[in-house]
Structure 1
Amino acid sequence: MTRAAVAGASGYAGGEILRLLLAHPDLKIGAVTAGSNAGERLGTIHPHLVPLADRVLEDTNPEVLAGHDVAFLALPHGHSAALAEQLPAGVVVIDCGADFRLESADAWARFYDTPHAGSWPYGMPELPLPGGGRQRDVLAGARRIAVPGCYPTGISLALAPGLVAGVIEPDDLVVVAASGTSGAGKGLKAHLLGSEVMGSMSPYGVGGGHRHSPEIEQNLSRAAGRPASISFTPTLAPMPRGILATSTARLAPGADPDAVRAVWERTYVDEPFVHVLPEGTWPRTADVIGSNLVLLQVAVDEHAGRVVVASAVDNLTKGTAGAAVQCANLALGLDETTGLPLAGVAP
């Protein structure tokens, strides 16, 4: 049995990783660690994790994590790099933070206040690439993997097929997305109080100010084989979890509008976690909650000359913890779908 430690287990992402590991047949939960919550019982912080309620959170340090086969790091941005550097090369390290996602040091410096730590293999297995490859090709057997951000997951998988196929243009990508409040983490923030969020939606990170923007551009540039640019506007929705993104792009000259949807269908026909819905059916966040799924729908607005792709993803499951477990499966040589839910929770 492979032993897995979870650092940052007191947060939403760490708790979700633990929920998934409880159902994983090949990964045994080892140490669970935290920062300021070290010494507390896990059940006081995550009462829904009943089988782990009596576990005591340990300090997050390399000595505690080093004795494991896998270490999941669910830490604040900028905290993973120093810790990962102290872990043995044989430990598979899956980082859920942003520390190793960006290849560009300049892009990192625009959004984060710590030194750029470099980049690790990027953990979005389904991302289509020019020439017919997928990002999973670099993940099998990897010892260090950077888990994607939640917004980049739904948006990148929504637009990448059209860029690889050349049916959409990469220089005028526009995305408006709504996220549940858990995307902001578990820390107390006045603007996330129930009385502030209920019955209200609000934009944030407007005008290129969201830190996921360079990650999305990096993914879509890779898919297009040339630079991509995106105008990304995130909004806060009055729900705990889930992301609904509406992504649009200019239809490429000469592209047949009637053949566009088939590009996405062909791209994802064999992907267990990415589904193009039947024509006329649109993604809903309610249908992905608790699952490792991305649901997509594609339409062509011929009047505007644009392709519209709607995507729904659970920001805590496929958007973070599910992707982390999926990447661990690939790194360990397990079936990619092991321990991951293919069905959501309803109602």
Structure 2
Amino acid sequence: MVMHMTFTVAVAGASGYAGGEMLRLLLAHPEARIGALTAHSNAGTRLGEHAPHLRSLADRVLDRTDVDALAGHDVVVLALPHGASGAVAAELAARGDTAVVVDLGADHRLVDPVAWKEFYGTPHAGTWPYGLPELLTAGETVASGQRQHLTGATRIAVPGCNVTAVTLGLQPGVAAGLIDAVDVVAVLANGYSGAGRSLKTHLLAAEGLGAAQPYAVGGSHRHIPEIAQNLRAAGAADVTLSFTPTLVPMARGILATATARLVDGADPAAVRAAWEHTYADEPFVHLLPEGQWPTTASTLGANTALVQVAVDARAGRVVTVTAIDNLVKGTAGGALQSLNVALGLPETLGLPLDGVAP
């Protein structure tokens, strides 16, 4: 029998894009009750100054982010910059607080502390259960897989948004032994909200409108070791990834084109069947009909990932295209989906399946 419960949620970093999106989804969740809302530089201001679309919370005053404000809730969501959530989570634990802590940042995603140090440059805060219920794990069934690690979890590390898109696109082929993960190339079109809310010259409308801007080129993006970690979890012996994200003039969305070499001797006809098998029963990951390609507009505001796969016979490569809303399935929606699993609630509870169009 599925347990239903009412739970209180505190959100740290509520004035940012990820925190605001978490609040939008929580407001539609029938079991969630919004508790403390905290911020750093915006503490003392009203939420409506930063997220005027959240009308029901517009008059709430943001507290300062500290454990005194966050403690005593059933769930604490940390929508904080990388490197900040580890200390807050540790302080909550030291006080004996029993909240389920959900980290939207990167602090607890990576298993390898050496990879963390290389890409983030600070001490590793530890590894938490990984908040991607659809993640394939070698030797486990598609249905259980990562979900069994999330059930009853009191700590959840939410994946990076780019990581979610590339992982969902490629992992069926890795798990089926159809693609060679030593030669993976991913090129992504990213909405500007993925760059955060801080004021930077290259993020101004005058700089971004009408322009496409690559960033973190040449193997420097921090999501690279996380994608490799997920592909190894799906069964890859080794992973070599060329990863190039590009900011394009849209507020939300990721369109990830990821390709990998078809394994010698693999049957190209088996490719689509592998993706169909993997996602046949997934509520939020949809393999589109042949000939229909994902668009970011189709995922706007929804917790869906739209996937298509094809074989480029001349190049000997499998091509996948995946579209998600970076703030929903890529961040807050994936977090709430994982939280539902952890609390024993229906996985789809309170999560939008349908996008906003046009």
- Counterparts of 1:204 and 1:83 in 2: how far apart (Å)? 30
- Counterparts of 1:34 and 1:235 in 2: how far apart (Å)? 29
Query: TM-score, length-normalised on structure 1?
Result: 0.98
- Counterparts of 1:334 and 1:176 in 2: how far apart (Å)? 36
Q: What is the CA-CA distance between 1:225 and the residue it aligns to?
A: 4.3
1:222: which partner in 2?
Answer: 233
1, 7, 12: which is aligned to 1:2?
Answer: 7
SS of match in other structure, 1:154: helix
SS of match in other structure, 2:255: strand
Q: Partner letter of residue 255 of structure 1?
A: A
Listed as ranges, the matches of 1:56-67 within 5 Å are 56-67=61-72
Whether the aligned pair in 2 keeps the contact of 1:170 and 1:224 (CA below 8 Å) is no
- Counterparts of 2:43 and 2:122 in 1: how far apart (Å)? 24
Q: Partner letter of residue 164 of structure 2?
A: T
Identity %: 63
Say if 2:274 is the partner of 1:263: yes
Q: Partner letter of residue 287 of structure 1?
A: S
SS of match in other structure, 1:117: coil
Q: What is the CA-CA distance between 1:31 and the residue it aligns to?
A: 0.6
Listed as ranges, the matches of 1:88-127 within 5 Å are 88=96, 90-127=98-135
Say if 2:18 is the partner of 1:13: yes
Whether the aligned pair in 1 keeps the contact of 2:303 and 2:352 (CA below 8 Å) is yes
1:280: which partner in 2?
Answer: 291
SS of match in other structure, 1:86: helix
Listed as ranges, the matches of 1:1-347 within 5 Å are 1-87=6-92, 88=96, 90-133=98-141, 134-347=145-358
Whether the aligned pair in 2 keeps the contact of 1:94 and 1:327 (CA below 8 Å) is no
Whether the aligned pair in 2 keeps the contact of 1:74 and 1:95 (CA below 8 Å) is yes
Q: What is the CA-CA distance between 1:113 and the residue it aligns to?
A: 3.0
Whether the aligned pair in 1 keeps the contact of 2:303 and 2:351 (CA below 8 Å) is yes
Q: What is the CA-CA distance between 1:114 and the residue it aligns to?
A: 2.2
SS of match in other structure, 1:171: strand
- Counterparts of 1:259 and 1:72 in 2: how far apart (Å)? 41
Q: Which runs of 4+ in 1 moved over 3 A?
A: none
Whether the aligned pair in 2 keeps the contact of 1:125 and 1:135 (CA below 8 Å) is yes
CA deviation vs aligned residue, 1:265-294 (integer Å, no higher than 9, x gap): 110010000000000000000000100000
- Counterparts of 2:21 and 2:182 in 1: how far apart (Å)? 36
Count the aligned residue pairs: 347
Whether the aligned pair in 2 keeps the contact of 1:251 and 1:307 (CA below 8 Å) is yes
Moved more, 124-133 or 265-274: 124-133
- Counterparts of 1:278 and 1:95 in 2: how far apart (Å)? 35
Q: Partner letter of residue 338 of structure 1?
A: L
Q: Which runs of 5+ in 2 are unaligned?
A: 1-5
Moved more, 101-110 or 69-78: 101-110
Whether the aligned pair in 1 keeps the contact of 2:310 and 2:320 (CA below 8 Å) is yes
Q: Partner letter of residue 126 of structure 2?
A: G
SS of match in other structure, 1:205: coil
- Counterparts of 1:212 and 1:225 in 2: how far apart (Å)? 17
Q: What is the CA-CA distance between 1:89 and the residue it aligns to?
A: 5.1
- Counterparts of 2:186 and 2:313 in 1: how far apart (Å)? 18
- Counterparts of 1:113 and 1:188 in 2: how far apart (Å)? 23
Query: TM-score, length-normalised on structure 2?
Result: 0.95
Whether the aligned pair in 2 keeps the contact of 1:89 and 1:143 (CA below 8 Å) is no
Taking a change above 3 Å as real, the CA distance of residues 25 and 308 of structure 1, as seen in their structure-2 partners, is same
Whether the aligned pair in 2 keeps the contact of 1:175 and 1:246 (CA below 8 Å) is yes
- Counterparts of 1:113 and 1:307 in 2: how far apart (Å)? 34
- Counterparts of 1:63 and 1:164 in 2: how far apart (Å)? 45
2:3: which partner in 1?
Answer: none
Q: What is the CA-CA distance between 1:104 and the residue it aligns to?
A: 1.2
- Counterparts of 1:89 and 1:34 in 2: how far apart (Å)? 20
